[in-house]
């Protein structure tokens, strides 16, 4: 196994004496139900990039106060959500102590940071506890390909061509709360770094985020009203957005750009509308 690192398990058994035959079936089932390949990069001896991105999203979702670390309460909520069992205070202290010894920046004054969160799951994987890591991933909606399951994703509502989609009062209030939470400098605007945080939990956000950030840079800031408008206008095309060929016709020339190649917010919206009217079939494969 040291020579062939792709071998996950090696079991000595005998069909004649039935020596360790149950173990063979156990590891065979485990290989199917809790596969290692999507999680572990054999060349780098660490978690794969898709796995790290998935854990990044999970960490952000669990970090409810968005302070960059999971405090004891957030850790406990994560444990209960994934394993239906609470952690004792002594267990939390032990986990953080182990992480701090191995990863100095894995724990801060608040709690477990993202490097520490990654270390814990990497440790489970190296100990052969793939079922633990898969329990976490599946609880947050991931399938065996580390993509969000179809039944986990919201399906855009279909409506007649003469109808429009509007945010409910509850949705507007929710966006207001999110805006206030992300506006760390309290200037009533979202700058590029803050917009990045806004979409950080989207599994495949690069296509959308790239255009949205150029719009933010063009204006140097993004006001709350614009954020709400983007949610309304992009809802039905958001899930299809990341995979579109923005450098090809008709999207390439759908909006004017600045001398620096940036696209304005109005230009961004025109591209979104071009996508909307060019396709009546929406998909959620990208998200």
Using pLDDT thresholds of 50, 70 and 90, give the confidence band for residue 191.
Answer: low
Out of 215-219, 251-255, 279-283, pick the least confident. 279-283
Predicted TM-score (pTM) of this structure: 0.65
Q: What is the mean pLDDT of residues 150-177?
A: 68
Using pLDDT thresholds of 50, 70 and 90, give the confidence band for residue 244.
Answer: very low
Residue-range domains of the chain with CATH? 21-152 (1.10.238.10), 169-278 (no CATH)
Under a CB-based contact definition with an 8 Å cutoff, are residues 240 and 248 in contact? no
Mean pLDDT, the chain, whole residue set:
73
Out of 28-37, 127-136, 188-197, pick the least confident. 188-197
101 phi and psi angles, rounded to 5 deg: -70, -35
Out of 5-9, 83-87, 225-229, pick the least confident. 225-229
Angle at 184 (CA atoms; ends 176, 208), nearest 5 degrees:
65
Tokens 């940071």 belong to residue? 113
Token output for 57? 């999203």
Token output for 127? 């100990």
Under a CB-based contact definition with an 8 Å cutoff, are residues 20 and 12 in contact? yes
Token output for 110? 């608040």
Asked whether the predicted pLDDT for residue 153 surpasses 90, the reply is: no
The whole-number pLDDT of residue 73 equals 95
Q: What is the mean pLDDT of residues 234-250?
A: 47
Q: Please state the length of the chain.
A: 287
For residue 265, what are the contacts with CB-CB under 8 A and spacing of at least 6? 215, 218, 219, 222, 226
Q: What is the mean pLDDT of residues 120-139?
A: 91
Using pLDDT thresholds of 50, 70 and 90, give the confidence band for residue 20.
Answer: confident
The whole-number pLDDT of residue 236 equals 39
Query: Tell me: the pLDDT tens digits for 115-125?
Result: 999 999 999 98
| Cα 68 from Cα 89, distance rounded (Å) | 21
Q: What 3-state class would DSSP assign to 19? A: strand
Token output for 135? 């329990």
Token output for 103? 């990863």
The whole-number pLDDT of residue 219 equals 42
Using pLDDT thresholds of 50, 70 and 90, give the confidence band for residue 166.
Answer: low
The whole-number pLDDT of residue 183 equals 73
Query: Tell me: the pLDDT tens digits for 4-17?
Result: 666 777 888 888 88
Under a CB-based contact definition with an 8 Å cutoff, are residues 16 and 124 in contact? no
Using pLDDT thresholds of 50, 70 and 90, give the confidence band for residue 51.
Answer: very high
Out of 91-95, 147-151, 253-257, pick the least confident. 253-257
């Amino acid at each position: 196994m040291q020579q062939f690192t792709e071998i996950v398990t090696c079991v000595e058994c005998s069909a004649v004496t039935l020596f360790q035959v149950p173990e063979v079936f156990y590891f065979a089932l485990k290989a199917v139900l809790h596969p290692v390949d999507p999680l572990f990069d054999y060349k780098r001896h660490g978690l794969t990039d898709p796995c790290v991105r998935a854990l990044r999203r999970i960490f952000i979702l669990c970090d409810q106060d968005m302070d960059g670390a999971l405090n004891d309460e957030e850790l406990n909520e994560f444990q209960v959500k994934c394993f239906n069992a609470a952690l004792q205070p002594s267990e939390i202290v032990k986990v953080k102590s182990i992480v701090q010894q191995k990863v100095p920046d894995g724990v801060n004054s608040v709690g477990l940071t993202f490097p520490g969160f990654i270390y814990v799951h990497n440790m489970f994987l190296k100990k052969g506890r793939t079922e633990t890591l898969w329990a976490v991933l599946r609880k947050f909606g991931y399938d065996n390909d580390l993509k969000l399951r179809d039944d986990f994703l919201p399906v855009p509502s279909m409506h007649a061509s003469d109808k429009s989609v509007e945010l409910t009062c509850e949705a507007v209030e929710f966006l207001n709360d999110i805006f206030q939470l992300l506006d760390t400098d309290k200037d009533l605007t979202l700058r590029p770094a803050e917009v990045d945080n806004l979409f950080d939990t989207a599994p495949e956000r690069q296509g959308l985020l790239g255009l949205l950030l150029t719009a933010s840079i063009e204006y140097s800031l993004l006001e709350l009203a614009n954020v709400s408008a983007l949610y309304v206008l992009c809802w039905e095309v958001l899930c299809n957005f990341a995979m579109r060929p923005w450098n090809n016709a008709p999207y390439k020339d759908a909006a004017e750009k600045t001398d620096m190649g940036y696209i304005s917010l109005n230009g961004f919206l025109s591209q979104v509308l071009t996508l909307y009217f060019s396709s009546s079939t929406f998909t959620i494969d990208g998200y």
